[in-house]
Amino acid sequence: MDAFWAAPPVIRTLTALTVVQSALMYSGLVSFYWALFVPSLIFSWRPQIFRLVTPFLLTGPRLSFIFDLILMYRYGSAAERSMAPGEFFIYLLFVAFSIMLTAGGYLGQPILLSPLIMAFVYTFSQTNRGTKTRFWVIDIPVVLLPYAMIVVGMVMNGWEHVLSDLTGIVAAHTYDFLTRIYPTFGGGRNFIPVPRFVERYFTDHDPNSGYRPYGTASRAPRPAEPSSASGSSWSSWTSSSSWNGRGAGRRLG
């Protein structure tokens, strides 16, 4: 429980909701019907607004229940800690909306947790550039981790699963481009700023969250976490370690 409460607030809440909904549905207490993304029911005369959320809160069956939660918790926590207070909440809304349009609306996928996790993995890989991670039994640059998972997913689950996961990468990259790459290298503005009331709320309720000066476009990389996780969606074992960390300089004499 200490590890759970030590997690940032948004991913902690998201993980808890996923545990509850998935457990209720796989136990047979609640029908899977209520978790599916069905646009015609969302925009019906009696709109089922909950379907904007529930498709992101259902894991895979059996061992995937554990592995999906581990991946969500680990990479989501790392992504949230790399952002300013409240930014991960805005990031989550943007990425989830993009996935609904692409994986849900265009590809017709009823469950959207897998591309959301892939978005977290992509963001983790970008904020930890310059480090390496262990994928199965080999060390690879962390920026290649999402694509290594995509390859394994293609072998195990086919192209339909791969296309769905790719929408998560596209959504996360689009957010990164609009908030960091274009403002930093293109001289433009941040198109998705964090509203002041959101920033203030998360600053007040999560004083230990990672902080990055508000208004800057750069995102300082954090060292990768030493823990490891296994995902059924990609059947991968990954653990991260920094290869280029330096200690604080000290003056002699």
- For residues 88 and 156, the answer to whether their CB atoms sit within 8 Å is no
- For residues 114 and 126, the answer to whether their CB atoms sit within 8 Å is no
Sequence-distant (6+) residues with CB within 8 A of 65 are 22, 26, 59
Q: For the whole prediction, is pTM greater than 0.75?
A: yes
- Mapped onto helix, strand or coil, the DSSP state of residue 73 is helix
d(CA 120, CA 225): 14
Largest interatomic CA distance in the chain: 77
Residue-wise pLDDT for 120-131, tens only, equals 999 999 999 989
Residue-wise pLDDT for 156-186, tens only, equals 878 888 999 999 999 999 999 999 999 988 8
The residue count of the chain comes to 253
Residue-wise pLDDT for 42-78, tens only, equals 988 889 999 999 999 999 998 889 999 999 999 999 9
d(CA 209, CA 247): 23
Q: Is 59 exposed, middle or buried (0-12, 13-18, 19+ CB in 10 A)?
A: buried
49's tokens: 């607004």
Range 1-205 has CATH code 2.60.40.10: no
- For residues 79 and 88, the answer to whether their CB atoms sit within 8 Å is yes
